[in-house]
Amino acid sequence: MLQYDKEFDPGADGREAGGVEGPADGAARYAADDEVYVFDDDEVVLAVNIALKTGRPLLLFGPPGSGKSSLAPNVARILGWDYHAHVVTARTEPEDLLWRFDALKRLNDAQAKMLAPSIDHYYTQGPLWRAFAAGETKRSVVLIDEIDKADPDLPNSLLGPLGSLSFPLPWDEERAVSIRPERAPLVVITTNDERELPRPFLRRCIVFELGAPSTDHLLRVARSHLGELYEEELAEQVAGHILSVRARLEDSAAGPSTAEFLDALKASQQLGVVPGTPEWETLEAVTLRKRREGLEPAK
Q: Give the domain ranges of the chain.
A: 41-209, 215-289
Residues 83-102: what's their mean pLDDT?
90
Whole-number CA gyration radius for the chain: 22
pLDDT digits (tens, 9 = 90+) for 9-36: 987 433 344 444 444 333 445 555 555 7
**Res 299 pLDDT > 60:** no
pLDDT for the residue numbered 53: 94
pLDDT above 50 (res 89): yes
Q: Between 58 and 109, whose confidence is greater?
A: 58
pLDDT tens for residues 121-135?
888 899 999 999 988
Band (pLDDT 50/70/90 cuts) for residue 86 is very high
CA 154/CA 149 separation, integer angstroms: 10
Give the mean pLDDT of 53-71.
Answer: 90
Residue 153's DSSP bridge partners are none
pLDDT at 20: 44
Measure CA of the first residue to CA of the last residue in the chain; give whole Å: 41
How high is the pLDDT of residue 293? Answer: 53
Class of domain 41-209: alpha beta
Find the mean pLDDT for residues 168-175: 87
Whole-angstrom distance, CA of residue 63 vs CA of residue 238: 20
- Separation of alpha carbons 293 and 21, rounded Å: 39
The model's pLDDT over 142-168, given as tens digits with 9 standing for 90+, comes to: 999 999 998 888 998 999 999 999 999
CB atoms under 10 Å from CB of 286, counted, come to 13
Tens of pLDDT, residue by residue over 40-52, are: 778 999 999 999 9
Mean pLDDT of the chain: 84
209-254 residue pLDDT tens: 998 788 898 899 899 888 888 899 999 999 988 888 777 776 656 6
Provide the b/e sequence for 187-223 (b: ≥16 CB within 10 Å): bbbbbeeeeebeeebeebbbbbebebbeeebbbbbbb
Question: Residue 103 pLDDT > 90, yes or no?
Answer: no
Q: Give the per-residue pLDDT at 207.
A: 97
**pLDDT value at residue 22:** 42
Calculate mean pLDDT across residues 84-99: 91
Q: Is the pLDDT confidence value at 80 over 80?
A: yes
The alpha carbon of residue 248 and the mean position of all alpha carbons in its chain are separated, in whole angstroms, by 28
**23-56: string of b/e by CB count within 10 Å (b at 16+)?**
eeeeeeebbeeebbbbbbbeebbbbbbebbeebb
User: How does strand 82-87 pair with strand 140-145?
Assistant: parallel
Q: What is the largest CA-CA distance in the chain?
A: 71
Spell out the long-range contacts of 291-295 with Cβ–Cβ below 8 A and sequence spacing 24 or more: 292/245, 292/249, 292/254, 292/255, 294/249, 294/250, 295/245, 295/248, 295/249
pLDDT > 90: what percent of the chain? Answer: 42
